[in-house]
Structure formats: C-alpha cells, structure tokens
Amino acid sequence: MPEGGLGELDSRARDIFRSIVESYLSTGDPVGSRNVSRILTTALSPASVRNVMADLEEMGLIYAPHTSAGRLPTEMGLRFFIDTLMEVGDLSKEERKLIDKEVVKAAGDVDSAESLLSEAGHMLSAMSHGAGVVATGKQDIRLKHVEFVRIEPARVLAVLVGETGTVENRIIDVPRNLPTSALVEAANYINAHFVGRTLAEARRELEAQHDERRREIDKLTERVIAAGVATWSGVAEESSTLIVRGMSNLIGDVKAIEDLERLKLLFDDLESKKDIIQVLGLAEHGEGVRIFIGSENKLFSLSGSSLVVAPFRDSDEKVVGVLGVIGPTRLNYARVVPTVNYTAQLLTQLLGR
C-alpha cells in the first residue's frame, strides 16, 4: 500500500472504484471506462474515468488482465472494498425463516450432530451459490463408562462410552501375559476415577498421580489404563470432520482453462481434507465472520478462492468448529457474510441445547 494509502481516494475515485468492484462481483468480467461512466450516478466522461482508473491502478487497487481490456479489482482492492466500502445488510425475515426451517428441522429429524452439520453446509451452498463447508475438530468426550475386551492374545478392544451416549472403539496392544483380571481392574479403576472428565483431563491426571497410582494398581493394569486413555485422547486428526456441500456450484463459474486448474486444486484440497486443523484455526480466535481472499487464505491460496467463515460453539462457549462458504473471489460477500453469521449463531444455539 503506498504511503498515504487509500485515504487519498476522493469521493469521485471511490465511486468509480466501487462501480468497478460491484460490476466484477456481479459478472466476473473486466469493466471499461465507457461502461463505468454509464454506471455512475454523476455525469463523467469516459476520458475522465480513464484518468481516475489510471490512479487506482497505480495504487494497486485494480489491474488490466489483458492489453486493452477493462479493469478488475486486485486482491488488495477487494480487501479495501470489503473493509471500508461494502454495505452488509441484515438478512430479511423471509431469509431467516428459511434458514430456521432448514437447519432447525434437520436438528429435529437427524440422529447425529454430523448430519445436522451436513444439512447446514447444504443450506449455505444453496443460498450462496458457492460450496458450503463445515469443519469440526475432535470432540473431547466426557467419560461415562469404559470396558476392555480381549480379542487376541496381545490385543484388546477398548470401548469408551461418553456422557452424550457416543461410543468409540479402539484396539490397543497389551502384553501377552496380561491376565483377564487385569483388564477388569483397569476398567474398574478408570470408571471409578475419571467419570465426567474429558480424555485430556484424564491423561493429565494420570501423569500427575503416577507415583500414588502405582500403590493402588499393579504394573500390568497401569499399562492398560495408560494405553486406553492415550489412544482416545491422541486421535484428534482421525476424528476431525470436513463436510463440503455444493462443490458443483463452483463449476458454473469456470470461464477459462486457468479457472479449471484453479478448481482442480481446490477440489484436490477438499477431497484430501488438507490442513483441516488450519481451517478450524481461521476463525477460532475471533468473533463473528472472517473473510480470506485469494492468497490471504493460506489453506486454499493456490486455488485463488475466497473463504468466508464463522465459528460455532458448544454449551460451554468453546469453539468446536467453523462453517462458511468457499467460492471464487467474486463471491457476493454482502449476502454471504450475514448468512454465514446467522447460521453459525443458530448452530451454536442448537448444539448448546
């Protein structure tokens, strides 16, 4: 950004810049000085518009994709427009009712949180004409009950039941000479000491009480307990979820071979769930909606896409995931932002029940 920055823009330059950006967001095409002069509410000749466009280009706000073509906003220009010029209205009552109907109905009809999140992603895709995305990390289950069942001489199935009724099964390795009584003692110890605690809390407590615990249980039982708790509390990446709905909407925006390459990179990222923890971190440290344009979005920077995300929380106000919209940099931000924000708030209410 040049010294003096965007504060140097007078009202005429801002009007011309706004017209260029709004035309781009609407059509995706470069716009020339003649068309801009027709759009403006104040009379201004194409020659005068060209002079202002030259200044805007020098400031890095717009550029010409081809010789003798019209102008498009740069990523910096889009950022300036979103931060200072874009008017984000609230959703209409009809739009809120539509979101309520789709998401709240899903909350009553489906039998899992993942199904609810999937419905939210589908709704976001339909309303934004982009791809709806929902990302959640491993839910730190609070323990209700544990059992250990031998399935092979040196392997045991550990069954964990959470307070919410969720069940997780994990296979752990144990010594071949481990007696069945040690499995029973291990389960009894965990059920007696760690009910109501998260797995992370249980593991920390196990480590802190190591010496005291040794006096209560023998060495073989201790190994089963440690292995069981570590297995559950160390699988965050496996338990992460990335839900994407409406990727076909992005195909309709393809206008050139380079767009196809951009789209392929984006699809590859999504299919591989690449850097999902980074998706969660995008919105975790801020309130409300965050917008990442092109290269600002380090997750999908190679695809030239924009990401609009907001966090949703559980009943303890802890961020448990993010949802939003992925699309081209010419997303209808003024419409997408309030839609994402309202849906995130609604999910927070539903998950907090």
Give dist(CA 318, CA 124) in Å, integer: 23
Q: Name every residue whose Cβ is closer than 8 Å to that of residue 320 and which is 6 or more positions away in sequence.
A: 136, 137, 139, 312, 313, 314, 351
Tokens at 180, concatenated: 């069945």
- Note whether 247 and 267 are within 8 A (CB): yes
What tokens appear for 52 in the block? 């202002």
CA angle 198, 203, 205 (to 5 degrees): 95
Q: Each residue of 69-79: b (16+ CB within 10 Å) or e?
A: ebbbbbebbbb
Spatial CA neighbour of 332 closest among 28, 29, 71, 84: 28
Strand positions, DSSP E, 66-142? 72-73, 131-136
Q: How far is CA 276 from the centre of its chain?
A: 8
Question: Per-residue confidence of the chain (353 residues) as pLDDT tens digits?
Answer: 444 455 568 889 999 999 999 999 988 889 999 999 998 878 888 899 999 999 999 999 999 988 777 899 999 999 999 999 998 888 999 989 888 887 877 666 555 566 788 888 888 998 888 888 888 765 566 788 888 888 888 888 888 787 766 677 777 777 888 888 888 888 888 888 888 887 767 767 766 665 555 555 555 556 665 665 555 544 444 456 777 788 777 776 655 555 666 667 677 666 655 555 566 565 555 668 888 887 776 665 556 688 898 988 877 777 778 888 988 888 899 999 999 999 999 988 887 66
Indicate the helix (H) or strand (E) that contains 260: helix 257-271
- pLDDT at position 49, please? 92
95's enclosing H/E stretch is helix 93-109
Contact between residue 66 and residue 13 where contact means Cβ atoms under 8 Å apart: no
Q: What angle do CA 293, 301, 72 make, to 5 degrees?
A: 50
Separation CA 347–CA 313 (nearest Å): 8
pTM of the predicted model over 0.75: no
Decide if 131 contacts 325 (C-beta within 8 A).
Answer: yes
